Copies of this chain bind each other. A is one copy, B any other.
Amino acid sequence: MRETAIGIDIGGTFTKYGLVDIDGNMLMEGSMPTYSHRDIRSFLDALSKEIYAQLDAIDTSFEIKGIGIGAPNGNYYKGTIEHAPNLHWKGIVPFVDLFQEYFDLPMVLTNDANAAAIGEKVFGGAKDMNDFILVTLGTGLGSGFVTRGKLIYGHDGLAGELGHANVYPDGRQCNCGKRGCLETYASASGIKRTVFKLMATNNIESPLRTYTYETLSAKKITEMALGGDPLALEAYDYTSNILGLKLADAAAITSPEAIFLFGGLAKAGDIIVDATAKKFEEYLYPGLKGKIDIRLSELMDKNAAVLGASALVWSEIVQDESIKIPQQARVV
């Protein structure tokens, strides 16, 4: 009987789910709207109904070891979703407690970037690593830090907020209430702000000048950069410089073997990876120079959010032998 785990990725617009075996094969997958369910009960009713229907349609035999959930502002210790700005469900939602009424299975919940990091460890480029960082460059900037083979959750279950490290204390206004957070520069929304700043401060000609703030997307900027547009390339340079700087700070703290970039902006590939790696190396503590790779996630073209969420079950619940134990001390 195949051992499997359910992975669920809750996003502001859509929720994706799938049944994944330990080799990363999807036995089923699906997606449903999140935003239309203003009430958490209505959402859970619909989600569980869909999942049960999809499970019934699978014609091989399988055993489900647990459910892993990635969610914005997910609290690992409490199984709650806390004050997520992009979800309708306000305050603290006891997600795992509620979801237990639908599935009598072990469950683990954490934020989406942490789930992606564990996905990288179980199914992606970090299989043989105990110390690495994964950074998601989406609408915002999320991060998952793995040390000794385990995620850093911190004292309250909410660690890994590199997106809210300070770049310029009086800088760009952030949705979090502060100013100058890293994610206001290095993210899909951040690079759009940078394009508008650059249009204001220099005279580089570009078709980007024909877009309004509302019509311009990071995807468009990436397309233009890949096509060689100098303004778009300048925006990527500006972004990579700031990202390289803050990744160097993070690396000085945790000394990772590699830093994986993931998400929309990472689709610019070499344009962002090479420029960020160059700046990173420049800002890095000399004792670490040449030791840390910056590279793309190996799950970029896959249903990584669902893979990552399912991987939480193997990493955080099952703890089987496929999960490497932490390196041992130099004890003689």
Chain A residues packing against B (C-beta within 8 Å): 73, 75-79, 82-83, 96-97, 100, 106-109, 129-132, 143, 145, 147-148, 150, 152-162, 164-166, 169, 176-178, 181, 245-246, 248-250, 252-257, 283, 285-288, 291, 316-317, 327, 329-332
- Which single member of B154, B254, B332 contacts A106 (CB below 8 Å)? B332
CB distance from A105 to the nearest CB of B (A): 9
- Which single member of B109, B130, B160, B286 contacts A330 (CB below 8 Å)? B109
| A154 in contact with B147 (CB, 8 Å) | yes
| A256 in contact with B155 (CB, 8 Å) | yes
**Interfacial chain B residues near A176, Cβ < 8 Å:** 285-287
20 A-B contact pairs sorted by A residue (CB < 8 Å)? A77-B327, A79-B330, A79-B332, A96-B330, A108-B329, A108-B330, A129-B155, A147-B147, A147-B152, A148-B148, A148-B152, A152-B253, A152-B254, A152-B255, A154-B254, A157-B255, A161-B252, A246-B249, A316-B331, A317-B329
Given contacts A176-B285, A331-B107, contact A253 B253 (CB under 8 A): yes
**Interfacial chain B residues near A148, Cβ < 8 Å:** 148, 150, 152-153
Residue of B nearest to A327 (CB): B77
| B147 in contact with A287 (CB, 8 Å) | no
- Which single member of B155, B160, B169, B249 contacts A130 (CB below 8 Å)? B155
Q: How far is the CA of A154 from the CA of B253 in the complex (A)?
A: 8
